[in-house]
Amino acid sequence: MFSVSNLCCSRGEKRLFSGVSFLLQAGEYLHLEGDNGVGKTSLLRLACGLSPLEEGEICWQGQPVSENSDEFRANLAYLGHQLALKEDLSPLENLLSHAAVAGRQLSLTDAKAALARLGLRGREHLPVRVLSQGQKRRTALARLVVSTAKLWILDEPFVALDPAAQNALSEVINAHLSSQGMVLLTSHQAVSLAGQGRTYRLSA
């Protein structure tokens, strides 16, 4: 279970939002909507602990994240606007090094299969710098295929993807939800996923 209670966010003297509360249970997703500039990315960064809380509380499995931060981080996969890819490495090398930094063992076979699932077969060994923006995003999204985290927080995961890649990503997310995972995401594209889902519209 993942919950946020009474979160607020300000930018300078401007209050972006306040009183944001919601709960995610296993197998559920929440689609965060709102106009540009209303603070969707800021809310996601608060939710995953990348920005300090002004007010409110975030809980994981019924306990404040501040009291069990290690367990929370071990169960969190976050994908933001910055893809955190090393341009001189290949997609395969990026995927393997990301797993190593996270302290997880990832076989070469599983890494190649994850990249192929996102449509990168034949591009596994190219330097990331020569890939298109959509291919770079698919390289970053391949981390989700091999992720063991229960909670995925995704900021515009479908952006820069062609229809085939969007369908592949939807299948990856659906598999995660069917395995009792949880997803919090923003998306300007229409979201149609197989799990129990709802929409939260963020406003000032």
Domain spans in the chain, listed from the N-terminal domain onward: 1-75+149-204, 84-148
Q: Is residue 1 a contact partner of residue 155, using CB atoms and an 8 Å limit?
A: no
- What integer is the mean pLDDT of 149-165? 94
- What integer is the mean pLDDT of 1-25? 92
Q: Is the pLDDT of residue 204 over 70?
A: no
CA distances from 63 to 60, 179, 193 (A): 5, 22, 28
| pLDDT tens-digit series, residues 38-91 | 999 999 999 999 999 989 999 999 999 999 899 999 999 999 988 999 999 999
Per the prediction, the chain carries an average pLDDT of: 93
Residue 86's pLDDT is 96
Q: Is residue 161 a contact partner of residue 55, using CB atoms and an 8 Å limit?
A: no
The architecture that CATH gives domain 1-75+149-204 is 3-Layer(aba) Sandwich (3.40)
Hunting for tokens 């809380």 — which residue is that? 53
| pLDDT tens-digit series, residues 165-193 | 999 999 999 999 999 999 999 988 777 78
Chain mean position to CA 189: 15
| pLDDT tens-digit series, residues 18-33 | 999 999 999 999 999 9
Q: Is the pLDDT of residue 12 over 90?
A: no
Q: Distance between CA 204 and CA 189 in Å, rounded?
A: 22
Residue 85's pLDDT is 96
Residue 123's pLDDT is 96
Q: Is the pLDDT of residue 148 over 90?
A: yes
Residue 64's pLDDT is 95
Q: Distance between CA 175 and CA 166 in Å, rounded?
A: 14
Q: Is the pLDDT of residue 161 over 80?
A: yes
> How many other CB atoms are there within 10 angstroms of residue 175's CB atom?
13
Is 169 strand, coil or helix?
A: helix
Q: Is the pLDDT of residue 100 over 80?
A: yes
Q: How confident is the model at residue 14 (pLDDT cuts 50, 70, 90)?
A: confident
